[in-house]
Copies of this chain bind each other. A is one copy, B any other.
Amino acid sequence: MRRHRPDALRELVESYLGELAFTPELGALEEVLRYPLESGGKRIRPVLCLAVGEAVGAEAERCLPAAVALELVHTFSLVHDDLPALDDDDERRGRPSAHIAFGEGVALLAGDALLAEAFRLALSYPSTAVARELAQATLGMIGGQYRDVTGDTSDLAALHRLKTGCLFAASVGLALAVAEVPEREQAPWRSFGAELGLLFQIVDDVLDGDGYAERHGAEGARALADEAAARAHERLGAIPADTSMLAEIVGGLAARTS
């Protein structure tokens, strides 16, 4: 089976997103859903999902609806997070946030619609397994956001395991569900998936100078990121499949500068 390089997987995601037909009943709200989706995200979660899919024998084309469902959930969470009621961020990726561009009420509804559209995509598979993984991950993520917003940051690792980790773990989990990998073969993949969110988050904090960087200093946080990357590579090494593309993605996650 063909294995795409990470850049090629990202192009598949972009092209699928560009052609994605939303529910017609949304009317002109569709434009508001497209706006945050078209702002040049890194598409890390869907690319991971596609790469895991290819490693377990599922064509990228088959995994695309699941992969893009993850990106829709991620985008829904950003649109709602940016609202004044939560982070009150006027900008996102160098452009006005959705609520600045379209108004708060409309952005709120667009976030809701992105979540529902994510489930519609996840429900395009014959089994409920893909959408069930997505529901669990979404609920875990919301649990993390709740800890964050209520200032329950005593256990930073637990907070990020939920807020960031659940959706990264789901990048792996959804691919396993699409490929119908039997439960008994999933454990090493799940262990790998559990490391990704932490790696992403620590690097994020190093780049932004907050969170882990604030708590452990820039060098301390960098060391934690390197440890997380080493663990992710180690977990990958324990998987009996060709995980070379995934190793490249992990390397990219650890070394990213934006």
A contact set with B: CB distance below 8 Å: 23, 25-29, 76, 80, 83-86, 99, 103-109, 111-113, 115-117, 119-120, 123, 125-128, 131-132, 135-136, 138-140, 142-147, 149-150, 152, 162, 166
The contact of A119 among B26, B126, B135, B150, by CB within 8 Å, is: B135
Known: A25-B140, A142-B112. A125 touches B128 (CB 8 A): yes
Q: Which of B28, B112, B131, B166 lies in contact with A131, CB distance below 8 A?
A: B131
Residues on the B chain within 8 Å of A127, using CB: 128
Q: Count copies of this chain in the complex.
A: 2
Residues of B within 8 A of A128 (CB): 123, 125-128, 131
Question: A120 to B142, Cβ gap below 8 A?
Answer: no
Indicate whether A119 sits within 8 Å of B119 (C-beta atoms), given known contacts A80-B112, A143-B23, A143-B26: yes
Tell whether, in the assembled complex, residue A149 and residue B109 are in contact, meaning their CB atoms are under 8 Å apart: yes
Q: Does the CB pair B86–A105 fall under 8 Å? A: yes
Inside 8 A of A27's CB, which chain B residues have their CB?
143, 146-147, 152
Q: Is the CB of A123 within 8 A of B112?
A: no
The CA-CA distance from A104 to B105 in the complex, in Å, is 13
Once the chains bind, are A83 and B85 in contact (CB under 8 Å)? Answer: yes
Q: Which of B106, B139, B144 lies in contact with A149, CB distance below 8 A? A: B106
* Chain B residue with Cβ nearest A23: B139
Task: Report if A25-B143 is in contact (Cβ < 8 Å); known contacts: A85-B85, A86-B108, A123-B135.
Answer: yes
